[in-house]
A and B are shown apart, each in its own frame.
Chain A
Amino acid sequence: MKKSIVGVVRASSYNVEYLTKRIQKVVEYIGGCNEVGNYDKIVIKINMCDAREPNTGAITHPKFLEAVLRWIREENRGAEVFVVESDATRTLADLYIRWFGYLKIMEKYRAKWVNLTEAPKKRERFKKLKIFREFDVPEVFYDAFFITLPKLKTNILSDITCCLKNQYGCLPIVNKDIYHRVLSRAIAELNVIFRPSLCIVDGIIAMGGAQGPAFGVPIPAKIIICGRDPVAVDAFAAKYIGFNPRKVKHIKVAAKLGVGSLKYRVVGEKIRKINFENRRWEFIAFKLGIKRQLRAWSAYRYSWRGRR
Chain B
Amino acid sequence: MTIRVAVIGAGAIARRGHLPALKLLEKGGLVETVAVVDIVEESAKRVAKEFDIPRYFTDYREMLGAVEPDIVIICTPTPTHFNIAKDCIEHSHLLIEKPLCIKLSEALTLRNLARKSNRVVGEVYNYRYFSAVLRALKRVREGYLGRLVSIHGTYFAHFPVAWTRATWLYHERGVLYDGLPHMIDIMLLMGNGKPMRISAFGGDMLEDAGFINHANFIVELDNRVFLTGANSWIIGATFNFTLELHGTGGFAYLDVRGDTYREYHGTRTLVHDLFYMKDELIDFMRSVLGGKYFVGALAHYPILLRQFLRGVEKKGKVPVSIDDSIERLIILEGIVYSIENKETAHRKVLLEKAEKESLEQG
A residues apposed to B, CB below 8 Å: 52-53, 55-57, 205, 209, 211, 214-220, 279, 281-282, 285, 290-291, 294
Contacts and interface: CB of A to CB of B under 8 A. Distances in A.
Count chain A CB atoms within 10 A of each CB in B146, B250, B272 and give the residue with the most: B146
Contacts of B275: 279, 281
Contacts of B143: 55, 205, 218, 220
Interface in B138-155: 142-147
B248 to A, nearest CB: 4
A215 B248 contact: no
B267 A56 contact: no
A219 B263 CA distance: 13
Contacts of B269: 285, 290-291, 294
A282 B271 contact: yes
Given A215-B267, A281-B275, A220 B142 contact: yes
Contact of A217 (B248, B249, B270, B271): B249
B266 A214 contact: yes
B144 A281 contact: no
Given A53-B248, A56-B248, A56-B249, A217 B265 contact: yes
Nearest to B266: A215
B271 A57 contact: no
A211 B266 contact: yes
A217 B144 contact: yes
Contacts of A56: 146, 248-249
13 contacts: A53-B248, A55-B143, A55-B146, A55-B147, A56-B249, A57-B249, A205-B146, A211-B265, A216-B265, A217-B265, A218-B143, A285-B271, A294-B269
Nearest to A214: B266
A56 to B, nearest CB: 4
Nearest to A290: B269
B266 to A, nearest CB: 3
Contacts of A282: 271-272
Given A55-B147, A218-B143, A281-B275, 16 more contacts: A55-B143, A55-B248, A211-B266, A214-B266, A216-B266, A217-B249, A217-B250, A217-B263, A218-B144, A218-B249, A220-B142, A290-B267, A290-B269, A290-B271, A291-B269, A294-B267
A224 B39 CA distance: 64
Given A55-B248, A57-B146, A217-B144, A281 B265 contact: no
Contacts of B145: 218
Contact of B265 (A205, A215, A220, A285): A215
B272 to A, nearest CB: 8
A215 to B, nearest CB: 3
Nearest to A209: B265
Interface in B261-296: 263, 265-267, 269-272, 275
Count chain A CB atoms within 10 A of each CB in B250, B265, B275 and give the residue with the most: B265
A291 B266 CA distance: 10
Interface in B104-161: 142-147
B138 to A, nearest CB: 11
A31 B184 CA distance: 53
A-B CB proximity, top 4 nearest: A215-B266, A211-B266, A218-B249, A53-B248
A50 to B, nearest CB: 11
Nearest to A58: B249
A294 B145 CA distance: 24
B107 to A, nearest CB: 34
Nearest to B143: A220
B271 A218 contact: no
Contacts of A279: 275
Given A55-B248, A56-B249, A218 B267 contact: no
A205 B146 CA distance: 9
A219 B275 CA distance: 21
Nearest to B269: A290
Contacts of A217: 144, 249-250, 263, 265
Contacts of A215: 265-267
Nearest to A219: B144
A121 B310 CA distance: 68
A281 B146 contact: no
Contact of A211 (B147, B248, B267, B270): B267
A128 B146 CA distance: 43
B267 A52 contact: no
B59 to A, nearest CB: 55
Contacts of A216: 265-266
Contacts of A220: 142-144
Nearest to A217: B265
Nearest to A293: B269
Contacts of B267: 211, 215, 290-291, 294
Contacts of A53: 146-147, 248-249
Contacts of B147: 53, 55
